Structure 1
Amino acid sequence: MIIKLLHIVILASVKYILTLPYAMIIGVEYKYAILAVLAGGIGGFLFFYYLSKPVNRGFNWLHPRVCAMVPYSMKLRFKSFCDRHKPKKKRRHFSRKNRFIVRVKTSYGFWGIIIATPVILTIPIGAFLANKYYGKRKHIVKYMIVSIVGWAGVLSGLIHLFPKVFF
């Protein structure tokens, strides 16, 4: 039983929406499944949220040093990767990816990340985006925990309303 609960906690810390139906399918009692899913979701968010800042700092510190050691022939192949930190003299060119990120950030923004993280995004990606773009906001961790708890309530309600779909 403890191994099943630990498995559910670890799964919930990565892919939250699939975990509660999975816990019910493998035969875990409902109250233990809810507690394990909540512990995994909240614990996973806190872990990845506080881990993402040192990882970003380390990448920003390591990136120019790696590009300085890369041979010239490899720099030609990965030109956009190594030219990222050089000062640009010409006008900035927006790629399709940059436009998509700006569109998502301006359209959905803070609340889009908060609401979509447990369901559409995964917990690690949502924690990374929340820390990168909105890390200075005061209550982002509290809002994300409320979102995780709220989605657990929605998922458990769906399981109770439509048990034949999940079993």
Structure 2
Amino acid sequence: MKALLIILSSTWKFAATFPLAVYVFQMSFFETILYTNIGGLIGILISTLASKGLIKLFNAYGLKLFKSKKKIKKKFNKQNRRLVILKNKYGLAGIAILTPVLLSIPIGVFLNTKYYGHKKISYLYLLISQITWSFVYTLFYTAIKVSM
């Protein structure tokens, strides 16, 4: 049951799962790596399918819904600006690196699908980034646990 909870929680918010796995459930290093990466992979797969579907729906129906006789200016708020800066300044590597840490997996995969979905290797970058951060987080939290 605890493995299933770790897998499900790491599909959505990857970084928040490690303290739960290491401290609350007392999982070993390898259990934590295994379950969080399975959850992250499932999250990437589900989010990719959902993102592709949402983008297709918006391209097909969204433009018709938002058309009006008045010309509407695009509104840029603080969050939109940050995402554009992230995409322009850091590109695919920045999105892949920040997805498990700052962004959640669904948001990072959506950005990846929207801007770099035509490159199949972009999903491999997300997976490699997730595995790397999994090792970093697990080493960090197990080192703290041992020192206590």
- The two structures have a TM-score, normalised by structure 1, of 0.75
Structure 2 CA distance, aligned partners of 1:45 and 1:160? 25
Deviation string for 1:54-93 (max 9, x for gaps)? 121113323255x3xxxxxxxxxxxxxx248x8x6xxx96
Structure 1 unpaired stretches of 5+:
68-81
Task: Name the count of aligned residue pairs.
Answer: 145
- Partner in structure 1 of residue 121 of structure 2: 139
> 1:56-135 alignment to 2 at 5 Å?
56-64=55-63, 67=65, 82-83=66-67, 95-97=75-77, 99-135=81-117
- Partner in structure 2 of residue 27 of structure 1: 25
Judge conservation of contact 1:20–1:34 (CA < 8 Å) in 2: no
Residue identity opposite 1:107 in structure 2: K
**CA radius of gyration, larger in:** 1
After alignment, is 33-42 or 7-16 more displaced?
33-42
Structure 2 CA distance, aligned partners of 1:104 and 1:94? 19
Structure 2 CA distance, aligned partners of 1:151 and 1:32? 15
Residue identity opposite 1:114 in structure 2: A
* TM-align CA RMSD: 2.6
Structure 2 CA distance, aligned partners of 1:133 and 1:64? 18
SS in 2 for 1:17: coil
* Identity among equivalent pairs (%): 33
- The two structures have a TM-score, normalised by structure 2, of 0.84
Residue identity opposite 1:27 in structure 2: F
Structure 2 unpaired stretches of 5+:
none
Judge conservation of contact 1:4–1:28 (CA < 8 Å) in 2: no
